[in-house]
Amino acid sequence: MATITTEMIKKLREATSAGILDCRKALEAADGDFDKALDYLREKGLATAAKRASRQASEGVIDVYSHGAGRVTVMVEVNSETDFVGRSDKFREFAHEVALQIAATAPLYIREEDVPQSVIDHEAEIATTKAREEGKKDAIIPRIVEGAVTKFKDEFVLMRQKYIRDDSKTIQDLMNETIVSTGENIVIRRFARWALGETTSED
- 12 and 73 part of one domain: no
- Boundaries of domain holding 63: 59-112+157-195
pLDDT digit string, tens, across residues 60-99: 999 999 987 788 999 999 999 889 999 999 999 999 999 9
Instruction: Please give the pLDDT value at position 48.
Output: 61
Instruction: Please give the pLDDT value at position 44.
Output: 72
Instruction: Please give the pLDDT value at position 203.
Output: 42
Cα 90 to Cα 2, 176, 182, 183, 197: the distances in Å are: 38, 13, 7, 11, 34
pLDDT digit string, tens, across residues 4-55: 888 888 888 877 777 788 888 899 999 998 888 888 887 777 666 656 665 6
Say how many domains are in the chain.
3
- 130 and 185 part of one domain: no
Instruction: Please give the pLDDT value at position 72.
Output: 93
Is residue 71 situated within a structural domain?
Answer: yes
- Start-to-end C-alpha separation, the chain: 56
Is residue 203 situated within a structural domain?
Answer: no
